[in-house]
Homo-oligomer: A and B are copies of this chain.
Amino acid sequence: MINEITGGVCAAQGFKAAGVHCGVKAGSSPDKNDLALILSDRECTAAGVYTLNRVKAAPIYVTMDHLENGVAWGIVANSGNANACCPQSHENAEAMCAAAAAAVGREPEDFIVASTGVIGQTIHIQAIQAGLPQAAAALSTEGSSAAANAIMTTDTVKKEIAVFFQVGGKEVKIGAIAKGSGMIHPNMGTMLAFVTTDCAITQEMLEDALRDVTGKTFNRVTVDGDTSTNDMCVVLANGAAGNPLIEWKDGDFDTFRDALHHVCRLLARAIAGDGEGASRLITCRMSRARSEESAERLAKAVVASSLVKAAMFGADANWGRVLCAMGYSKAPFRPEHVDISFESSAGSILVCRQGDGLPFNEDRAKEILSQPEVIIAVSLNEGEESAECWGCDLTYDYVKINGDYRT
């Protein structure tokens, strides 16, 4: 039983957070936070997954280095600059950790560091150094929303969630914040997601749970096919819940992993639905496949297709583009067995049966496709496996946002 609660990254016992405006980007509004700090009151077991882009921002390397021992105390993150592809970017990422550590009386290696924003411009490290004592002073158990706000870039809604559940008779909580929006494509961490939990769990089990869950949630999201240089998802577990330590893959591990899956799936959907310029969340549900892997590959190709995305923007039941995208996905399937429906809160309509088009009511289809969440439901009629992937429509606003992002 997984129950949603408020509190975000501060829901779990022993975690505080803060978000402040320090002026990373010249001329940015003082109302928009750009510096987030998350701190545990005790040492945490920690695990991370990172972008597979060959070009990795400095904070990725510094975080990998700091997490080599599998433990951390906190996270420092900024928006407004990716701290990537610049002279001094490595030194500046280390300087962020050092400033965070100095502000709270810890060591630089205790910190995970993340950045998001424009690539190739030197980060305004002095602003961050000046802001961190302020952030440290603002740390509170009510600080999750301010931290979530601080990591937003072109996001239009804050992404924050928390849940509680039982492990060995103890109440355990998992909370998280995330940012998404652009440069989002299913290939590892995808975007920034910071997860905190008071669960007592070993580093190995935490890492396994995170990898498993990430593969089925964040890695099934695409906004624009561009895998960022800065993506990361990290989880900190401080053990404050006092549950029996999870140290092997027993029922307690499954419970924890399911709760983590619940949290990450909701964030993944929130990231897809709030993709840059998006007007609706598109889910592709690929069912009756011979394997989950092929179902995932097919569903990803559909939600990543520019033509499908543009058709969804126009609420156009152009299912031929769905079948076409499946065709170039390189996953095996038999086109002549495929059924395709469009579904939403307004109903469901079957448009293709066994690979051939059906006559259907265009007005009814338009009504179904005009809802804020649309499901492209494909049945391969070949097996019993399935997978869901999430994306969004391609709109004028995506082009507008990205036609002139830097200036």
Question: Footprint of B on A, CB under 8 Å?
Answer: 52-56, 82, 84-87, 118-122, 182-183, 185, 187, 224-229, 304-307, 310-311, 313-314, 316-321, 323-329, 332-333, 335, 352, 355-357, 362, 394-396, 398-407
Contacts and interface: CB of A to CB of B under 8 A. Distances in A.
Nearest to A329: B54
A84 B320 contact: yes
A203 to B, nearest CB: 28
Given A224-B306, A356-B86, A119 B404 contact: no
Contacts of A332: 54
A85 B323 contact: yes
A55 B323 contact: yes
Given A54-B335, A119-B320, A307-B402, A352 B85 contact: yes
A183 B307 contact: yes
B316 A404 contact: yes
A403 B324 contact: no
Given A55-B326, A225-B305, A316-B404, 9 more contacts: A54-B327, A85-B356, A86-B356, A183-B307, A227-B327, A311-B405, A313-B399, A362-B407, A396-B400
A399 B402 contact: no
Nearest to A277: B399
A327 B229 contact: yes
B324 A229 contact: yes
Majority DSSP secondary structure for residues of A touching B: loop
In the A-B complex, the 6 residue pairs with the smallest Cβ-Cβ separation, listed nearest first, are: A119-B320, A314-B403, A55-B327, A310-B402, A120-B357, A53-B327
A357 B316 contact: no
Contact of A307 (B224, B311, B317, B335): B224
Contacts of A314: 402-405
By CB atoms of chain B within 10 A, which of A53, A311, A324, A325 has the most? A324
Contacts of A53: 324, 327-328
Contacts of A119: 318, 320-321, 323-324
Nearest to A121: B357
Contacts of A305: 225-226
A387 B238 CA distance: 51
B328 A406 contact: no
A189 to B, nearest CB: 13
A275 B357 CA distance: 27
